[in-house]
Every structure is written in structure tokens, then in C-alpha cells.
Structure 1
């Protein structure tokens, strides 16, 4: 090992690999070369190893970067402007009107960078997004160095971005061309929801996804109003309608999925659909408690997302992981529902599997990209340390995330952003606040 040169050697008190539930390596080191994990060294091998850079984290957990499976990054600029309202009131009377006045290429770029700074500082290395002005989101991902899935929103009605479903699709696919070949940027098709997308449009999305080998990202069964509205309009629940159209497949990431019958759980399991669970957003909008324990028991792949900062109001995947575990317990009155190790797996490997990148990220494993985070457990709030997995989920906060790497590149070092200017992010956020209030 002493003759092998590594770019980085990251030593940590604990490594949560996520390869197996509960697996924790003590006093090991991760060796990185060309952005990839090439070795995991035992304690006795570390001193003799040859590395260009050594990072020693004696009181830290090293673990996979968190994968945010559902977000609307640019909406960070609308954080806190319409709180404590029901979903449709929030959308129709507050968010959509504000977006109509302000959303633009610049709004999306600035808002996405602000979101990515926040996400890095809470341990997120991948975002699965859904919004407008997709090239701006892609540029933000490249500028920040975040692994970014850009969801091309599709609706039937006009917005500042598009006039109709065909226009949204055409614009999104055109913007996708600018980023083909970029390792960190992947475009997806994002029909907004069953109540905003017609059958013919869903059929076009399915065909296009198969032709271009793209994922589909959609809000589904978020509220009972959505379910009842579908019954009134289509005489069937949304999931049944989408199943009849052929949308259910391993390509589909279904966001929320709060209100599900046992038959619907079996249906998504049969078709290999992945679910993006958004516990805090679901609580804040009073949408309900998703049946996560039943979904996992049925073999459904369930990841975790933050949703947007306008409905959360934090893009904090550590907090979201904790909420995912706790909400499952109170929803079932079962304290064993979604243990800490399962919650971590949901916010890392399960989300990576949903995005089709589990061969690249989601565990600390030789051969995978070095998307890693370090969490400092030396604080009073996380002392003493009996079980680092429990601490990550139930005790640690985002302020304890000290280092973040994407593809081996440090994007956060000792709590300092390295690819983004924190002062500039805050100045642009203030500028947008003044503009929004002025209108």
C-alpha cells in the first residue's frame, strides 16, 4: 500500500458505509484517486500510505453524501413568504402568482445557487430537482459542483416559461442538449402532477422517456383533495389512471405518495416505482403521513427529499432523515418502524437507486465516486457517542457537517463553502427579497 499514490486519504473515527445496515468501520481511511474511492484502509495500513493530501477527522463520522430525491431549488427565494396554508391555497393564491411575476433564468440561477449552498452545508451532494428555466439549473449545478438532476416541468396551462405541454417539452429537451456529456448534470421529464397534466401529455412523456432513456419525476397522491378530485374528474384514483396510461415503471420517481391503499402499495411494488418521501413538507402542509413502513415491507424503494424551501422551509437532509424515522414511528405507533440505519439508507442508497446512480454513489465502497460527507460528533450535543448511526439520525444537526466532497472535490471544508461565495449568495437573496416585496 505504501507504493500506491492517492490523491486524498480521509481518515475518520467512524465510517458508516451503508453497504450493510449497521456497518460502522472504526479508525479506517478512505483513499481517493481521480474522484473515485480506490481503497478503504485498515488502521494499521494508514500511516504507510502515500497520499498527496491527508484529511484527519478524529471525532467525525464519514459517510455517503445525502441524496435529496425531491426538490424545487429555485423556490428558496420564496422561503417563508406564504406559510401556514393548505396546499392548493398555497399554490393557487400565493406561489403561482409570485412565480408569474418573478421567475426567470436569473431567478432560477440565483435561487438554485442559494439552495445548493444550503444543501452542501447540510450534507447533500445530489439534488433531484423540478422547476423551470432548466439551463439555469444546469449551469448552477456546474458552478456549484453539485450532482444535479434537472427536472423539466410539464403542465397544460401557461406560465412565464411555457404556453402548453408541448411547449414545455420542446423547451426542456432543447435545453437538455446543452448538457449532454456533463457527468454531474442529468435531465429528467417532470410532469407536474395528475391534476395538472392530461392523458395525452402523459402518453407523450412515456414515449419520450423510453426513446431518450430518461427518468420521470411527478407529484402523485400528495393530498386527499387530489385523490378525490381525480375520482370526480376521471372516476378513478390518480394512481389507477396513471397505471392505465402505462406510467408506472422503474423510471418513475413518485413524489409524496401520502394516501395509498394496500392495493396501491402492491401496485407500485409490482412496477418497481420509487417514492420520494417528503416528511417535513407533508407535515407542514398537513398533507398526511405516508405509509413508509408498509411500502418498505412491500419491497418498494423509498428515498427521502426536502421538497422546496417555500414549503419546508429548510433544505436540510439530515433533519429530513430524522423526520422520516420519527414520522414513521408516530404514524404506526410502532417505535421499531424505520430504524436509524434504515433512515440513513433511505437518504443515501435508496435515493441513489431511484435515480439510477447506485453504481456511482450511495455507499462508501471501492469503485464508487467519492461523494462523501463528514459530520463532527465532538460537540456537547452529540456527547457521549455510543452509536454513531443513532447520533447521525437522532442527535446531529446540519451545523455539525464539516466537510463535503463531490467526485472527490471539496465543496465544503471546515464549514466553509469552497465553490460558492457565501456573501454573494446572501446579497443576491436580499436583492430578490426587495424585488419581490416591491411587486
Structure 2
């Protein structure tokens, strides 16, 4: 099938400039972009023509850090920082069945798509349930849950039609080193058995921050090498036990994780020395502005991290700590937080943050050859954003207006692989209505059985 998009304000997020074409067109064949140009589009016999009538056409967002299974647990732990919020939200989810996880993850995946995120790095909930933190360490380790609890979260993303990289914890509190690595391989095998156009890869949920094992970093590096996967670690996120957190940086460094492209998720409570060493070592970063504000975690020193040369992507994080999976809101919160911290408007420009949330995330995740920008050869994952519904006023600087003035009401269509995936905030997936019904039935039932979380 050929799709021809015409009369578009193209935001390509490609090249050295701002990646913008005022009067543009784009051709899609078999789900991939095959041509982009300015002016009137060429005639293509038999093509389906999508006339966007002056709307923005931009790449789908790439969330570099997500927890989609939390979609049925929004609004919990509102008076808590990270660990108290985890007690509330993960305390509820710890009692969920594999099918509860499936429907909550499907609900979250479809919500991501309907709100403009077409690719996500997603952490499945570990098979060992969350335990409260005491003095910077988990208070214990529960029993290992069945692997279906993990695999059904993966299936949900696939069934939603979301492109994804699936990350899982090594759950290293149970088993020998070989048992831990073999168990992790079951997840990798499952991801690699799925449609590779959707399942873009597998990864480790780095957990040296919480692991009871002194060799946790070495074990994660062994898994990275054995399976050829990424590792994104929740690291230096919260204000609690900051010095203890910082001391664990050396574990990743000494294990050789930096040179393998370790991704630091959050990376807020840093020092100039840690930033310099991480960047020089080859590490990357994922920034979650809305989550960092919601949980009172702080503001990452984005100017210093950029100056050090560390690649940065942006993630929407948990739907239960961002609460609304709105990528424009997430970008603006980041811009405003950095500017408020630095006093310098140039420290966070809209076009720079847009790139982090699209192509920058794709680069951090190693999938920039397929997603993150509108370029020939990449998947045709794109958004149609109407600047007149509601009206943004004159577009003095279109790319900056796109970042600063867009609301979800302006998002009229979402395409994945050239196929319509959502329109006016409503998913086209045949499972969408059932996902809503299941989440509204299942999660209150879990709470009723095990106790309503705070």
C-alpha cells in the first residue's frame, strides 16, 4: 500500500537544522517512508492521499523510560516521594494476576499510542514483588512469581501494536548466578520470538540501586554480553540516601558497564565528577521530567550532562507517576524545570528538548535507524497535529510553537507503519474498549481483596 501525505508542515527532526519543511509531502510504501519533499507532491497512481491541510506532521514520540503495567494504578501515593509511592502503587500491583498485568499493560500501551508515543522502552514489573526500602536497601525478598506475570506484560505491548524494547530485572535475590542468567534468557527468547517490526529488542532493568548482591553490576554486565542487550538502570533518582546511592556508581564503572553503553535512568543526584566519568566512559541517560516533579525527586542537571557530551533521551516513566501520558506536557515540564534551576532560558530550548523526546531517545536506545525522525527508510510512525484545533495563533516559530503550544486536543491522528492507530484520542485497536472495561473491573477487585492503597 502507498500513502501520500500532502500539504503538511513537516517536522522531520532530521539534519543539522531544525528539521522543518513549511509546505511538505511524504510518501509511505509498505509501512516505511520512501520519499519526502517540499512543495506540491508528485502524482502517485493508486496511492491513498492524506491531505492534512496545513497541519503539523511529526515523528511519533519515543519514550526512553516507561512502566506501562502501572496504567491501572494512577493517582496513588500522591503525598509520597519515590519509595513511599512505590509502597502504594507496587503494593497494589504485587497482588495482581498475570492477566491483571496483561490488561493494565495493554491499557497503558494503547494510551501511549493514542497520545502520540509510538515506541517505548518499557520495564516489566519484576517477578520478585516490591518490598519497602529501609536505610537504602530493600527490607526483604518475596517469592519469585510465575514467568507468565512477566510474559503477559510483553504480549500486551505487542497486541497493542506499540513498538517496544522490553526491559526486565534480573531478579537476582533468588538463585545462583547461572540460574539468574538463564531465567533472564527466557524473557529475551520470548521478545525475540515476536514480530521484529514491533519487538525491537530486549534489555535489563538495572537494579544495582536495590540489589542485595555485591556482584550485581558484574552479573548485569554478564547478561548484557551473553544476550547482546541494553541495560537501563534506575540510578541517582531520589533524595533519600544520596551518598549511599552515589557510592554505587563505582560498581557499574568497575564492572565495565559504562563502555557497553549503560543508560542511566533519572540521573538527578549526580556530582560533576560522576557526570564527567559517566560521559567519558560511554554511558547515556534517560530524563523523566514529569515523574521527577511528581515524586519530588529533583531536577537533573541537563545543561551539565549535555556539555559533557552524554546522549540524552526523554521518557514518560510510569503512567502512575506521570498520571497523564502527555509527551508535550512532559517536554514543557522539563524545559520549565531546567530554566527555573539555571535562570537561563537558553539552557532548555524547545527544539533541543523535542529532539531528545524523539530522535535523541531513539539514539540512546540504539534504534535510530528505524524510528525517531521522519527520514527515508524509517518506519512511517507519525503524528498529525492541527494547530488550529484549538487555535495556537500565528506560528512565529513553527517548531517552537509545536513544543510549547500543542495540547492533546491538537493531536488528531497517530500512524504506526503508515496505518491509522488512533484518531482524536481514540484507539483503532479492536481490543481498546475491552482494555478499559477489564482495567476498571480488575484493579478495584484487587484492591477490594487486598486492601485499598493510599
**Structure-1-length-normalised TM-score:** 0.90
**Contact persistence 1:318–1:393 (CA under 8 A):** yes
1:75 corresponds to 2:86: no
| Local SS of the residue matching 2:120 | strand
1:107 corresponds to 2:117: no
CA offsets, 1:10-43, max 9 Å, x none?
1243101111342310221110111111101332
| Separation (CA, whole Å) in 1 of partners of 2:17 and 2:37 | 20
| Separation (CA, whole Å) in 2 of partners of 1:108 and 1:171 | 20
| Separation (CA, whole Å) in 2 of partners of 1:405 and 1:149 | 19
The equivalences for 1:11-410 within 5 A come to: 11-19=6-14, 20-46=16-42, 48-91=43-86, 93-102=87-96, 104-132=97-125, 133-157=149-173, 169-180=181-192, 182-183=195-196, 184-185=198-199, 186-196=201-211, 198-230=213-245, 237-410=247-420
Residue 9 of structure 1, CA deviation:
0.7
| Separation (CA, whole Å) in 2 of partners of 1:172 and 1:54 | 45
TM-aligned CA distance change 1:51 to 1:218, over 3 Å = farther
Matched pairs, number: 422
**Contact persistence 1:74–1:108 (CA under 8 A):** yes
Structure 1 residue ranges (4+ consecutive) displaced by more than 6 angstroms after TM superposition: 163-166
**Contact persistence 1:12–1:61 (CA under 8 A):** no
CA offsets, 1:325-384, max 9 Å, x none?
221111211111121110110000110011111111111111111121111111244123
More displaced 10-residue stretch of structure 1: 407-416 or 66-75: 407-416
| Local SS of the residue matching 1:370 | coil
| Separation (CA, whole Å) in 1 of partners of 2:178 and 2:335 | 40
TM-aligned CA distance change 1:193 to 1:406, over 3 Å = farther
CA offsets, 1:54-95, max 9 Å, x none?
11111311111100011110011111122120222222x323
| Separation (CA, whole Å) in 2 of partners of 1:358 and 1:226 | 36
TM-aligned CA distance change 1:45 to 1:81, over 3 Å = closer
TM-aligned CA distance change 1:285 to 1:143, over 3 Å = same
Residue 168 of structure 1, CA deviation:
5.7
Residue 282 of structure 1, CA deviation:
0.8
Structure 2 spans left out of the alignment, 5+ residues = 126-148
| Separation (CA, whole Å) in 1 of partners of 2:22 and 2:296 | 41
**Contact persistence 2:100–2:439 (CA under 8 A):** no
Instruction: Select which of 423, 431, 438 maps to 2:441.
Output: 431
How large is the Cα RMSD of the aligned pairs? 2.1
| Separation (CA, whole Å) in 2 of partners of 1:43 and 1:32 | 17
| Local SS of the residue matching 1:101 | coil
Residue 250 of structure 1, CA deviation:
4.5
| Local SS of the residue matching 1:202 | helix
Structure 1 spans left out of the alignment, 5+ residues = 1-5, 231-235
| Separation (CA, whole Å) in 2 of partners of 1:154 and 1:348 | 28
| Separation (CA, whole Å) in 2 of partners of 1:9 and 1:249 | 42
**Contact persistence 2:208–2:216 (CA under 8 A):** no
More displaced 10-residue stretch of structure 1: 62-71 or 313-322: 313-322
| Separation (CA, whole Å) in 2 of partners of 1:376 and 1:367 | 26
Residue 164 of structure 1, CA deviation:
8.4
TM-aligned CA distance change 1:226 to 1:302, over 3 Å = farther
**Structure-2-length-normalised TM-score:** 0.87
Aligned residue number for residue 144 of structure 2: none
